[in-house]
Amino acid sequence: MLQFIRDRAQGWIAWLIVGLLIIPFALWGINQYFTGEGQAQVARVNDTNISLRQYQQALAFQRDRVRSMMGANANAEMVDRLVRPQDVVQSLVENEVLVQAARDADFGVSPKDLRQQIESIEAFQRDGKFSKEQYEQLLRTQGDSTSSFEDRLSRAVLTNQMRTGIADTVVASDYDLEQYIKLKNQQREFRHAIIDSNSFVKDIVVSDDEIKNYYQANLSRYMDEERVRLEYVELKADDFKEKIAVTEEDLAALYEEEKGRYGVDEERKARHILIPVAAEANDDVKAESRKKAEALVLRLRAGEDFAKLARENSGDPGSADKGGDLGFFGKNTMAPAFEAAAFSLKKGEISDPVQTSFGLHIIRVDEIREATIKPLDKVRTELTDQYKTRKAEMQYYDVAENLATLAYDNSESLAAVVEQLGLPIKETAFFTRSGGAPGIAMDAKVRAAAFAEDVLTKGFNSEPLEIGANHVVVIRIKEHKSAAQKALESVKESIRNVLVKEQANQQAGKLGESLLAELNKGSDFTALAAAHKLALQDAKKIGRGDQSGDAALGEAVFRMVKAADKPAYNLVTLANGNHALVELVAISDGDPATVADAEKDKLRKELAQRMGNTSYEQYVDYLKSKASINYHLENIQ
């Protein structure tokens, strides 16, 4: 229990905790976790098992990711529909097949390459540089080890090598590009008439028996979800920060400790005259340019006006009009040779010609700002906040450790926590496993803990749940309402509306099928629509991927096949349940000649990427067909 606190008390900097999130999210999908003999399996790829634990971790991550993306719109039914267990198993199998194929093909990741990958991860850096201490600390806080992390990362690099080795090597030919442009920029002209299902509603009567039968057949749709209401205590470092006083002695001591962070490097203000010299210029041109530069140096050292000569002779369009003035600049901002010369000159001194890739520069330093350290008064606000943050985190960790101990030792009540720590008890509104209440119930970890056995069934306090940087809560159940079947009377009218809508849609569909048959026999679309009082829309053109109008209608139009000598017809079910009779009038391919070269280059890359992804997917399918794969999906039921 106390490990929760100790793992988080390794340093002062709060953003480290946020940085931890980068690791599991950035590297999930690598799908190599600890497995043990005797664990239940969900699949076996050749000689390698994919454990139930791997599957559960991957499934939980995918569900959390969907909830995070959908926010308040997420509900359990929607998450289950988007994250299917069999798809998660399939992704684990595909990953394992790829890793094995990569190793069989002698793909590998050298220790040097692996180290470079690790050092490039921002979460492992301190002041822009890789920190071994921070790397190990962050992994420990995640309950991970460097060896298992590096193994997972190595597998990720391997599979990426396989993908790029296939997908990134596909080239789209001129013919491929031409056909792609014709299809991508294709336009289709069509007419359509809507068969409105609402026009059938008035004649539909639904009996009580039909409602009852539908209710019995769909009981799971008419359930009140299991719900809980919580009481909890909350601890945040920011609550301590507000009460911390800072003295001048405190600030002075911290300033001395952090002084290195407030250094301001030396800067120089300079002018220059550039005599451009192309890299491929012959020796005579180079010699003539140097002769001109040396002559200008002599004139400047003799006292002629630098700004005047710069305006007359400099080939730098950005500074010539300003008399060659470059303003102040620090190190690592100019070409190395230019910078070396500028920082070696005294104020007012004229340099000899300096060669860079741009040509020959004549430099004069006009002003020097010596390297300094910002005074305390300039950084007082920042230091004050830093001091308060440090002290607040110190107090937070002390109290958090006591909170963890008290909540665990007095697991059947929060009274001891309130009495000894003075934290007030707060309450949530009712919520389900998928949410439905504001505040802490919006956090997936809180919902998971609330419905876990120890809290829900046994009535214990939860362990401290970290729901933000330096922000924990301990929860317990205040009230629990089990899932319950809704009474038929309470849902009768909603069922009636469903059945009426279904029957109306069915009748509209039947009419549409009969009219489609007539059109295919040669009936006139205009006359047929008028006879059945359908509003026939004027012909319109749409492009592939056009987002206007009903998506199902647009997709259907581009799936239709048209004979050269007559229109094509189709019946389309729209998103709102209505039906549309569609007449495809004409097809116009895109014209490659009208596409600019720059756009063609972009489309060629797009096509190559599509072709590459297809090749990669085909290769994965091939690997799966050659591998010995056994599924144990009964273990995920």
Residue 10 pLDDT class (50, 70, 90 cuts):
very low
| Overall residue count recorded for the chain in this entry | 637
What's the mean pLDDT in 412-432? 94
**Number of Cβ within a 10 Å radius of residue 598:** 8
pLDDT of residue 16: 35
CATH number for the domain formed by residue range(s) 3-171+627-636: 1.10.4030
Output the pLDDT for position 610: 92
pLDDT tens, residue by residue, 267-300: 999 999 999 988 788 888 999 999 999 999 999 9
Express each pLDDT in 61-113 by its tens digit: 788 777 777 765 666 667 777 888 888 899 899 989 998 988 888 888 888 88
The CATH number that domain 266-370 falls under is 3.10.50.40
The domain segmentation of the chain, as residue ranges, is 3-171+627-636, 186-203+490-588, 224-247+382-485, 266-370
Q: What is the pLDDT of residues 486-541, one digit of tens each?
A: 999 999 999 999 999 999 999 999 999 999 999 999 999 999 999 999 989 999 99
pLDDT tens string 470-500: 899 999 999 999 989 999 999 999 999 999 9
Q: Say whether pLDDT at 24 is over 60.
A: no
Where b means 16+ CB within 10 Å and e means fewer, 450-460 reads: bbeeebbeeeb
pLDDT (0 to 100) of residue 75: 66
Contact 257, 526 (CB under 8 A): no
Residue-level pLDDT at 125: 86
Q: Are strands 471-481 and 227-236 parallel, antiparallel or unpaired?
A: antiparallel
Q: 145 in the Ramachandran plot: left (φ > 0), alpha (ψ -120 to 50) or beta? A: beta
- pLDDT over 70 for what percent of the chain? 92
3-class DSSP assignment, residue 585: strand
Same fold, 186-203+490-588 and 266-370: yes
Q: What is the mean pLDDT of residues 184-202?
A: 93
Average pLDDT of span 224-238: 93
Place of tokens 């319950």: 484
Distance CA(61)–CA(53), nearest Å, equals 12
| Residue 146, pLDDT score | 84
What confidence tens digit (pLDDT) does each residue in 338-392 have?
A: 999 999 999 999 999 999 988 999 999 999 988 888 888 888 888 998 899 889 8
Task: Assess whether pLDDT exceeds 50 at residue 36.
Answer: no
Average the pLDDT over 591-616 and give the result.
92
Listed range (40-44, 179-183, 601-605) with the worst mean pLDDT: 40-44
Question: pTM value?
Answer: 0.50
- Tokens representing 162? 């396989």
| Per-chain mean pLDDT for the chain | 86
Sheet holding 568-573, edge to edge: 540-543, 187-195, 579-588, 568-573
In this prediction, residue 28 carries a pLDDT of 38
| CA gap 616, 636 in Å, rounded | 29
Q: By the 8 A CB rule, do 266 and 330 touch?
A: yes
Average pLDDT of the segment spanning 312-319? 90
User: Which tokens belong to 227?
Assistant: 């719900």
**Given a cut of 50, is residue 155 above it in pLDDT?**
yes
Statement: 186-203+490-588 belongs to CATH 3.10.50: yes
Q: What are phi and psi of 35, to 5 degrees?
A: -130, 160
Structure tokens of 3? 């490990």
